[in-house]
Amino acid sequence: MWNAVKSIFLALCLLAPQLASAEDILLTLRLADESEHTFTRTDLKNLQKREFSTKTLWTEGEVHFVGVSLSTLLSEFEVVGGAIKAQAANDYAIEIPVSDATKQGPMIAYLLNGKEMSQRDKGPLCIVYPYDANVKYQSEVYYARSIWQLDRIAIQN
């Protein structure tokens, strides 16, 4: 019995660093060719950072978002046309034209006012537009394209 306990202890000691460094997958991207790519928070942070401050319908006053531009993410996979089906953890889904994904357009935010967003607080990811930067974003169409608790994106042709 003692040998079994020692073996289990040894196995746990060897696995502990791997388990401790494992990160949760926050986002799954499925391309039109059905290939899937997953992203952890670190993966997203390793992409070119984008940030802006804006007022939203669901927050008090101006807030500051940090994340990765939707255009940056899509350009990594040479996505140039079609539509984006963005889905939340609760299965809410919205379609966003790929043409929205411009350098000055929406981002996938992973920080709100310098803090990570919990799923309870509309996180850990959300698609947000710079509403104050362009009056065209201050419409029901663009507010509806903003999605929180984002966890899946599928590119559709």
Instruction: Read off the pLDDT of residues 139-149 as tens digits, 9 standing for 90 and up.
Output: 999 999 999 99
Instruction: Read off the pLDDT of residues 125-140 as tens digits, 9 standing for 90 and up.
Output: 999 999 999 999 999 9
Tell me the whole-structure pTM to 2 decimals.
Answer: 0.84
How far from the centroid of its chain's Cα atoms is residue 111's Cα?
A: 10
Class of the CATH-defined domain 25-156? alpha beta
Which residues are CB-neighbours of 13 under 8 A, at least 6 positions away? none
Residue 55 to residue 1: CA distance in whole angstroms: 63
Amino acid letter, 111:
L
Q: How confident is the model at residue 122 (pLDDT cuts 50, 70, 90)?
A: confident
How big is the CA angle at 47 (ends 127 and 154), to the nearest 5 degrees?
Answer: 45
Q: What is the DSSP string of 4-54?
A: HHHHHHHHHHHHHHHHHH---EEEEEE-TTS-EEEEEHHHHHTSPEEEEEE
